[in-house]
């Protein structure tokens, strides 16, 4: 298991863009979602964030992404990360277009 300080450091490292392409993507998109931050974490950190309780792999993965979300919100509350909500339009096969708000985060 990773303690909160280690989780914060890992999340901050994952939020840093590496290269021009990622900087442009952040400028256009506004930031990374919690799931995108999770995917950018080092594999060892991801493995340490997962808390296996004998549950289904999908459930443990979802819990780990929720922990990343909580860490991001705590970092945003302290001002170390910028938090915004971005509107997007998605199309659902059975219901048509829907507008949604997505939380995005950027390193300050």
pLDDT digit string, tens, across residues 4-63:
899 999 999 999 988 999 888 888 878 999 999 999 999 999 988 887 776 788 888 899
- Asked whether 64 and 46 are in contact (CB, 8 A), the reply is yes
| Long-range pairs for 50-53: beta carbons < 8 A, 24 or more residues apart | 51/1
Instruction: Name the residue among 25, 55, 59 with its Cα closest to residue 40.
Output: 25
Show the tokens assigned to 72: 């991001």
Q: pTM here?
A: 0.86
Report the interhelical angle of 4-15 vs 57-78 (nearest 10°): 80
């Amino acid at each position: 298991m990773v303690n909160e300080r280690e989780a914060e450091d890992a999340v901050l490292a994952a939020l840093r863009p590496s290269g021009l392409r990622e900087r442009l993507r952040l400028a256009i998109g506004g930031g990374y979602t919690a799931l995108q931050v999770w995917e950018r974490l080092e594999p060892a950190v991801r493995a340490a964030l997962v808390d296996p309780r004998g549950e289904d792999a999908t459930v443990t993965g979802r819990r780990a992404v929720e922990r990343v979300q909580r860490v991001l919100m705590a970092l945003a509350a302290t001002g170390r990360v910028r938090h915004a909500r971005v509107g997007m339009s998605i199309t659902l096969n059975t219901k048509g277009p829907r507008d949604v708000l997505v939380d995005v985060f950027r390193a300050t």
